[in-house]
Amino acid sequence: MKAPTRRAIAYIAGRLLTGRDASSVFDVETADMFMFSGTVSATDINVFDVDRGGFVIGSPTSGEFSLCDLDDSSFLTLRIGDGKVEGVDLESGAPYEATVQGDTVTLFDSEDGSLCIYTVCR
């Protein structure tokens, strides 16, 4: 999964799992802040990544979201589970999983084995 898509998934996971509003994610590894806006709910995801000017949109079907990153035309699935979100990056076929503890989102991307940590900021 590409780094901008990872950040968007971290933002979406943070909002879905905490139920709190947020305006950005802080990438702990790079020490960069990325701004987001939009809707994240159990029935609609429509997120705008301010820094790259791209949208991630999706809606649920049979308990699973079908997401599209409109900036690079990639597709993902996303399921909400026991304190986590998980899915598959359909471009690479690689699964991912994100967990949230407080404001910290830990995302494992199996495509390259990376473990990314973000802080969701209000």
- In the chain, domain spans: 3-121
Contacts of 50 (CB under 8 A, 6+ apart): 34, 35, 36, 37
Residuewise pLDDT in 10s, the chain (122 residues): 999 999 999 999 999 999 899 999 999 999 999 999 999 998 999 999 999 999 999 999 888 999 999 988 899 999 998 889 999 999 999 999 999 999 999 999 999 999 999 999 98
In whole angstroms, give the CA distance from residue 88 to residue 15. Answer: 19
Q: At a CB cut-off of 8 Å and minimum separation 6, what does 82 contact? A: none
- What is this structure's pTM? 0.94
Q: C-alpha angle 55/9/51, rounded to 5°?
A: 45
Predicted pLDDT of residue 53: 93
Q: Are 10 and 1 in contact (CB under 8 A)?
A: no
Listed residue (115, 100, 117, 114) closest to 18, CA to CA: 100
